[in-house]
Structure 1
Amino acid sequence: MLITGCGLLPEVQDETKGWSAQKLYVEAKDQMADGGYEKAIQYFEKLEARYPYGRYAQQAQIEIAYAYFKANEPASALAACDRFIKLHPNHPNVDYIYYLKGLVNFNDDLGFLGALTEKIAESSETLAPLARQDMSERDPKASREAFESFKELATRFPGSKYTPDAIARMKYLVNALASHEVHVARYYYRRGAYIAAVNRAQTTMQQYPQAPATEEALTIMIKAYDALGMNDLRDDTLRIMQKNFPNSRYFALVKKAETPWWKIW
């Protein structure tokens, strides 16, 4: 009876049955405009499955990646980007996919500022508001991957309209990654792990020599060497800091106390 009863249930009708590729595409774009990203993804996927060789299929793949990005599904967005790059490495719009891939990682896990950074990403305007978000305390994996995507875009497509914004974001990411290393070095120092603090600060100096965070990295090295009793290394590092940051705010402490400034900070 149950089997018979199930057979009496009405079949779920596919509303898109008989739709042309153009209609699927237009309906999907309308859903995107209204914020219906899940529905849009469904339409784009149906379009690609039914018309894999049509002129809308490749564009649907691009739109799917963007729809996943807007729907806050970064893993799916990155997978869609990688798939497009693999299938269409010479596509006229592949530069956009590299840019989108960078944006997905750039915006990864920004919490309550996600909407703000997403808006900035769309307008490609100033990155100043992002300074309020301390990316240095986040897992740097996404930042590194974002940097690599932007770097590949800038290297392969220097004339792309997305490249100037990608370069601006790369500069921001370099500072964030350097600050992350300093953040970890500071953590080690405060817990008495002086050798680990020195190693992490040195990593900052080696990998991000132009980043502003190198000033504090040098300071941590000086303090850590002093704590270890390595006075020669401490003094060598101090000379490097004096040469590169003659107006450092840390030197101002010398005028206010008789003890070395690195023991005060």
Structure 2
Amino acid sequence: MLVSLLAVGCSSTPKEQASAEKKAVGGTDEQIFLGDTIEKNYDPNVIMKRGEAFFDKEEYSEALVEYNHFLDLHKTHVLAPYAAFKIGESHFKMAKSIDRDPEPLNKAITALERMRKDFPGSRYDAQAQQKIQECHDWLAQMHLFVGQFYYRRESYLAAAHRFEQIMKIYPDKPVAPDALYFLALSYHELGADDWAADNLTLLAEKYPTSKVAADGRSLMAKLGNKKSDTMIAKDSSATPFSDARPYAPSSSSPDLPAIPNAASAFSANVLGQSFTACRLGAWC
């Protein structure tokens, strides 16, 4: 009797263990990563599950492989728009901060715009539009970050170029008032106070309630006092400032002064500083 009971117990244990192991694997969907069968490589549900599993684990590079694999094989599948959206979202998730490489954001914009083109009117269209705007918000902040970095390093011309780019590409973004104020500061540091005043006037007119509006008014007052002192000095001086050139607004940007061309738009005397022409034709 004892022997028979042991025999029954021993015979049932492996089955129970196998059943428990199978249940554990099935509960976590880990079976989609096991084996290398044709079904697992081509079945749309399996491919999508792998992509979602990688995405949930924040392994976005691996998720991209699966989502792209899904689209390569199943472009007309009902989940194809979703896979295309997840490609853009994966690139977006790979962006770390505003002081890092903007390439993931550019790839996200490209992927999401392609998704909207390939699957017009899909249920993910509104989400794609929102993500694209978030990407542009990040890129605008990156331009501001880089411009402020150049400004702190006293590379005022390079800083002005970044701030000007923000005003041309992202005039409606939250960083626009800061960019306009720092653009005026950069011109002031370069000695181009007339251009600085033009930007401060635009700041007061277009962003009167921004957090830098008061700083802009203070700088404008400072420029006004300096201009008055300059006029008095010029009246008492026998030698006029003959190298000065009048400011001509850029035809491509009527509301903002264009970044001066280093080779022809102004001389070193106009800026009140001595510059050295670099090999690339820019002022250093």
The TM-score, its normalising length taken from structure 2, stands at 0.61
Residue type at the aligned position of 2:86: L
The 5 A counterparts of 1:19-58 are 30-32=27-29, 39-43=30-34, 46-47=36-37, 49-50=38-39, 57-58=43-44
Identify if the C-alpha distance between structure 1 residues 51 and 222 changes in structure 2 by more than 3 Å, giving closer, same or farther.
closer
Which residue of 50, 57, 71 corresponds with 1:71? 57
* Percent identical residues: 25
Letter of the structure 1 residue corresponding to residue 28 of structure 2: Q
Q: Indicate yes or no: 2:174 matched with 1:205.
A: no
How many pairs were matched up? 202
Q: What do residues 222-246 of structure 1 show as CA deviations (whole Å, max 9, x unaligned)?
A: 1001000112322232233233213
Contact 1:28 1:41 in 2 (8 A): no
How many angstroms apart in 2 are the aligned matches of 1:50 and 1:176?
41
Q: Is the 8 A contact 1:41 1:67 kept in 2?
A: no
3-state SS in 2 of match to 1:216 = helix
- Stretch of structure 1 that moved more, 212-221 or 72-81: 72-81
1:157-176 matches, cutoff 5 A: 157-176=119-138
Offset from partner CA, 1:81-101 (integer Å, 9 cap, x none): 222223333332211111111
Q: Corresponding residue for 1:125?
A: none
Shift of 1:186: 0.6
Q: Secondary structure at the match of 2:142?
A: helix
Residues in 2 aligned to 1:214 and 1:92: alpha-carbon distance in whole angstroms: 41
SS at match of 2:101: coil
1:61 aligns with 2:23: no
Q: Which residue of 2 aligns with 1:152?
A: 114
Q: Superposition RMSD on alpha carbons, in Å?
A: 3.0
CA distance in 2, matches of 1:255, 1:236: 14
What one-letter code is carried by the residue in structure 1 that aligns with 2:36? K
8 Å contact 2:47–2:70 — kept in the other structure?
yes
Larger Rg: 2
**Corresponding residue for 2:5?**
none
Instruction: Give the Cα separation in 2 of the matches to 1:28 and 1:161.
Output: 33
Residue from 64, 68, 73 that aligns with 1:87: 73
- Retained in 2: the 8 A contact 1:29–1:40? yes
- Provide the secondary structure at the position in 2 that maps to 1:137: coil
Point out the structure with the larger helix share: 1
Distance 1:255 1:214, change over 3 A: closer
- In structure 1, list runs of 5 or more residues that go unmatched: 1-23, 33-38, 111-134
Residue 185 of structure 2 is aligned to residue 223 of structure 1: yes
Q: Would the aligned equivalents of 2:150 and 2:156 in 1 still touch at CA under 8 Å?
A: yes
- Equivalent of residue 259 in structure 1, options 215, 222, 227: 222
Equivalent residue number for residue 195 of structure 1: 157
CA separation of 1:224 and 1:52: change in aligned 2, threshold 3 A: closer
Paired residues of 1:102 and 1:145 also in contact (CA < 8 A): yes
The 1:27/1:97 distance shift into structure 2, 3 A limit, reads farther
- Please identify runs of 4+ aligned residues in structure 1 that moved more than 4 A: 26-29, 50-53, 255-258
* 1:237 and 2:228 are equivalent in the alignment: no
In structure 2, how many angstroms separate the alpha carbons of the residues matched to 1:250 and 1:72? 38
CA contact (8 A) 1:99 1:166 kept: yes
State the match for 1:183 in structure 2.
Answer: 145
1:199 Cα deviation from its structure 2 partner: 1.2
- Contact 1:201 / 1:218 at 8 angstroms: preserved in 2? yes
